Structure 1
């Protein structure tokens, strides 16, 4: 499934029986080197960021919806389901340890549109297990030390119960992820317990603690803070901000569109710019619209998700909109403001690039002009127009900082 189309949530079966193991600690099982359950509980240090270290080097990290998750050793093999978490592993220099992700060949090609700008950084996700609807049998075959996936989102699949989730956590490795923060959606009504939301970078901080790599997180977070500070300092006044339509245009006559002002990490690369959503309340995210609806909204700017993917042809997309008798009347089409974007389920590294590119696409007078991109990797920008030091980011990913 491409990034320009909505991820369909599988339907939960009408009746589902579950016990108390999930809440009682089944999902808290750690990465053990010996028998299941033989972890120590003597805590000697607790930090303010919900990480606990024990006397025999086991440690815990806390995040909703799992609660407190215990690890006996730093995970080596990594299962992921969605690319915001695979991207976090990549940012921590663990991209090659990812053995599964959603649409691996598609996202391998997309992520590698950005890696050419990071000296010495390589990534190969091709041929990995495609894990949007994982089977329990395949998880046993992968034998992962940690499952960077939201157990509540896996629970939403028809073939998974809390007993299955507990079994995987106890016999293989724990679950650790948060998916519904993507747009502040609710988990299935049968899911036990509360659910909290996190920003992309808040979740990244917790994932970094899973891998005992908080220094790498801190280095990247400092770069992210600098990017946000630059945006805030030069953000144009509200009256000068464009109306924006963001969506997948693989079929320009019937695109999927997403609101740019909704909460959640899917908009982490546009919300800091405080743009005006072209659709207001008339169209909700993941809606498929026609060109008449697009013209009625009349966006000043169109952002094309997946437009940087090598299978996309931005010239064809622009031409199709320009040739359409209705779409050709849209302001963004008439003014040539149709821009390629990357991924919605972005990790930290793509978020840095996408903040930079979105700044130039929305506010060229304030942040510099975005190149007339048609194909190929992320454009090479002059050093004085870059929002962050590529070499510095590459050094952090490689652990040479």
Structure 2
């Protein structure tokens, strides 16, 4: 059963494996409709199935039982798809916090590598499949030799191949449904997608009367890195558009791009969104890095106090982007108060 405590909370179905469902049924002699759906879903998929994996056909020979994730978006997507209970190892999170509001506690799942895992680390995790933002210290061929399948998040395909179109909320919903098909949890995925779409519709209605502004999403990958921004092909661009803002970097045909303060000064957006938390830093730390850059005191957003913070994990191609949109809409609504 889906429960919604407030309009601004994204509810997700509780995840229950077929084995747990069987124990519950045996103990009680009855089951709720949600439990029956989950139990039935475990027996009605037909393998092998073929999915699109960043433009290539990928065959899934049987229902995967164990997962290694790379990056936090994989955690949120798998949770929404109904398969987070199969995660046996994590990686590629770079010290970032776990996504909020996951339906199960993943804090005890081993992190085999906080950065990009090697083939050895991946194989050692004993997972059937890898789900994440792509491979940097391994290859699909190396994993296939060990019988491991690599599934790349749709919105992260630009890490391995050039995106041909922008990632938006529809792509996130499609990714949840794709993972539901892979893990034989399509009923759970479909119901959670319906919940997310309803939440998105309500948020867009809230933003409908907002005055149009220009904006930029910027971030630092580490304290020593240069300023970066979000371009026109990522979910952050769609978030700004749905919040009634024009991304000053929208013409950049990329998701992530290295930039500098000079380009930010030239664009001089009305609103600056700082994506923070990429390496565990808080908003004040990330803001201090930006404000320490020469010339930033001349920015309109700095002078007007229209600099806001959004968790970087809420500006990623996964269900938490709904919360990112909510933060942008709520924060900018206070500017006129």
Residue 293 in structure 1 maps to residue 283 in structure 2: no
Q: Does 1:148 align with 2:123?
A: no
Given candidates 60, 73, 77, the residue that maps to 1:84 is 73
Q: Normalization by structure 2: what TM-score?
A: 0.68
Q: Secondary structure of the equivalent of 2:327?
A: helix
Whether the 8 Å CA contact 2:228–2:258 is kept in 1: the answer is yes
**CA distance in structure 2 between the aligned counterparts of 1:187 and 1:60, rounded to whole angstroms:** 23
Report if the CA contact (8 A) 2:67-2:86 is conserved.
yes
Once the two structures are superposed, residues 299-330 of structure 1 have per-residue CA deviations (whole angstroms, 9 ceiling, x without a partner) of: 111111125x7942433444565576621121
Change (3 A) 1:222 1:128: same
Which whole-Å CA distance do the structure 1 matches of 2:93 and 2:108 have between them? 6
Distance in 2 (alpha carbons) for counterparts of 1:311 and 1:268: 25
Q: Aligned equivalents of 2:237 and 2:61: distance in 1?
A: 32
Cα gap change, 1:196 to 1:364, in 2 (>3 Å): closer
Distance in 1 of aligned mates of 2:152 and 2:64: 14
Match for residue 144 of structure 2 among 166, 186, 189: 166
Gap change, CA 1:161 and 1:318, over 3 Å in 2: closer
> How far off is 1:352 after superposition?
2.4
Q: Among 204, 208, 218, which residue is 2:176 paired with?
A: 204
1 or 2, which has the higher strand percentage? Answer: 2
Residues 87/343 of structure 1: CA separation in 2 closer, same or farther (3 Å cut): same
Give the deviation of 1:356 after TM superposition: 1.4
Q: 2:161 aligns with which of 187, 193, 196?
A: 187
The offset of 1:62, in angstroms, is 2.1
Structure with the larger RCO, 1 or 2 (CA within 8 Å, 6+ apart): 1
Shift of 1:244: 0.9
Instruction: Decide which structure has the larger Cα Rg and report it.
Output: 1
Unpaired segments ≥5 residues, structure 1:
1-52, 189-193, 370-401
The 3 A distance-change label for structure 1 pair 362 and 294 is same
Name the counterpart of 1:4: none
Aligned partner of 2:187 among 188, 210, 215: 215
User: What residue in structure 2 maps to residue 353 of structure 1?
Assistant: 323
The count of corresponding residues between Structure 1 and Structure 2 is: 291
**CA distance 1:283–1:297, change in 2 (3 Å):** farther
Q: Deviations over 1:98-150 (max 9, x none)?
A: 2444434623x242xx23xx7x7423166412275443333332221222257
1:342 is aligned, of 311, 315, 318, to 311
Aligned to 2:218: 247
- Does the Cα contact within 8 Å between 2:239 and 2:324 map onto a contact in 1? yes
Contact 2:217 2:236 in 1 (8 A): no
Q: Choose from 44, 54, 59 the match for 1:69.
A: 59
Q: Is this contact kept in 2: 1:252–1:320, CA < 8 A?
A: no
Distance 2:182 2:176 in 1: 10
RMSD value over aligned CA atoms?
4.1
Match in the other structure for 1:314: 283
* Equivalent runs, 1:378-393 vs 2, <5 Å: none
- Cα drift, residue 201 of structure 1: 1.5
Distance apart, 1:252 and its partner CA: 10
